[in-house]
């Protein structure tokens, strides 16, 4: 046969035909909803730079989790936001059983149990007065090994609160091995570790820092990865897998689809990607101005992340996207 006898367009002719032959599908069960719970709130509070996303009270958190589970979302990632008076240089509220994150874990587990996967962010940045992801040395740099000791304690506290998965996200060298050993020593051998193995020092975290009321002084370029580097990312992945990671994650997602694909080809454990706050905010802002079709865009972005190789996608659209996907299929 010769052109125009070969006509690939035959398989694009109707919506039913396109559904029949599409190569990549996103399932609601592959989505994880990141949620913020703020200490002391009695009503949820909108986050101005992330339209549609809230700082939750403990009560509204329970409602949001129920909605997500009802929509078929596969998991919840919890972030705690303490009051300023509960921040200190070591982030001690992050390991306190009565700190907002550990309280929120217990609340969610009490509400939904094992009907979804309850994940918790294992990092000190929300809890430190300086906003960095670890304990500072006298010269103001982040002390890697002192931070590891805090992560070990924090991981055990989150597991004791009921988390199914802990997510060390601070990009400290050796963090996965230290957390895994601490969990096992405390009897939490069934708690999984989602390694933020590839976390770039991105310009797209700004809205997230609004969401957690970050106190960051300076930047995180000395421990988060440099955006131009791919081979370094593969080294980080190899180290985290060797240290016992059950899953690995790439963050951000859309600017790093090539990295997601490379990680997917390299490992034999689940690969996650985090569609971060700046990615979300850009789409919402463009849609609000009438420049793009919002629903089509959000589904297209999720599909591209899935096509690149991410089996699990953290996205602030998780509940809404799950509903759209159920309608579509």
Using CA atoms, how far apart are residues 69 and 114, in angstroms rounded to an integer? 11
Using CA atoms, how far apart are residues 117 and 69, in angstroms rounded to an integer? 10
Exposure letters 124-162 (e unless 16+ CB within 10 A, then b): bbbbbbbbbbbbbeeeeebbbeebbebbbbbbbbbbbbb
Using CA atoms, how far apart are residues 195 and 4, in angstroms rounded to an integer? 50
Would you give the DSSP letter of residue 39? T
Degrees (nearest 5) of the Cα angle 328, 50, 258?
65
Of the candidates 38, 63, 87, 199, the residue annotated as catalytic is 199
Residue 251 known to be catalytic: yes
Neighbours of 15 (CB within 10 A): 9
Q: Enumerate helices (H) and strands (E) in the chain, giving the number of each.
A: 11, 10
Structural element, H or E, at residue 60:
helix 58-71
Of the candidates 38, 63, 87, 251, the residue annotated as catalytic is 251
Region of 52 (left: φ > 0; alpha: ψ -120 to 50; beta: rest) is: left
Enter the tokens of residue 40.
């002391």
Would you give the DSSP letter of residue 55? E
Contact 86, 39 (CB under 8 A): yes
Q: Would you name the residues annotated as active-site residues?
A: 199, 251
């Amino acid at each position: 046969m010769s052109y125009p006898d070969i006509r690939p367009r035959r398989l694009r002719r109707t919506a039913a035909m396109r559904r029949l032959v599409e190569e990549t599908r996103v399932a609601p069960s592959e989505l994880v909803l990141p949620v913020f719970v703020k200490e002391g709130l009695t009503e949820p509070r909108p986050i101005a730079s992330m339209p549609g996303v809230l700082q939750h009270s403990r009560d509204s958190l329970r409602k949001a989790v129920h909605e997500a589970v009802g929509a078929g979302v596969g998991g919840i990632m919890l972030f705690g936001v303490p009051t300023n008076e509960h921040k200190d240089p070591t982030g001690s509220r992050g390991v306190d059983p009565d700190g907002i994150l550990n309280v929120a874990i217990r609340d969610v587990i009490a509400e939904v149990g094992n009907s979804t996967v309850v994940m918790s962010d294992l990092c000190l940045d929300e809890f430190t007065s300086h906003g960095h992801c670890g304990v500072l040395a006298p010269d103001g740099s982040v002390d890697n090994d002192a931070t590891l000791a805090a992560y070990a304690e924090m991981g055990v506290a989150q597991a004791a609160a009921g988390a199914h998965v802990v997510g060390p996200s601070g990009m400290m060298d050796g963090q996965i091995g230290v957390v895994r050993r601490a969990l096992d020593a405390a009897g939490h051998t069934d708690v999984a570790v989602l390694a933020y193995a590839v976390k770039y020092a991105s310009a797209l975290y700004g809205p997230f820092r609004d969401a957690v009321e970050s106190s960051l002084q300076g930047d995180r370029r000395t421990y988060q990865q440099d955006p131009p580097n791919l081979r370094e990312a593969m080294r980080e992945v190899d180290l985290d897998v060797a240290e016992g990671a059950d899953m690995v994650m790439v963050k951000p997602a859309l600017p790093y689809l090539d990295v997601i694909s490379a990680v997917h080809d390299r490992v034999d454990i689940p690969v996650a990607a985090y569609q971060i706050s700046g990615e979300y905010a850009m789409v919402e802002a463009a849609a609000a101005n009438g420049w793009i079709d919002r629903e089509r865009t959000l589904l297209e972005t999720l599909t591209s992340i899935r096509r690149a190789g991410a089996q699990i996608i953290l996205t602030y659209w998780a509940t809404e996207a799950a509903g759209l996907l159920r309608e579509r299929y």
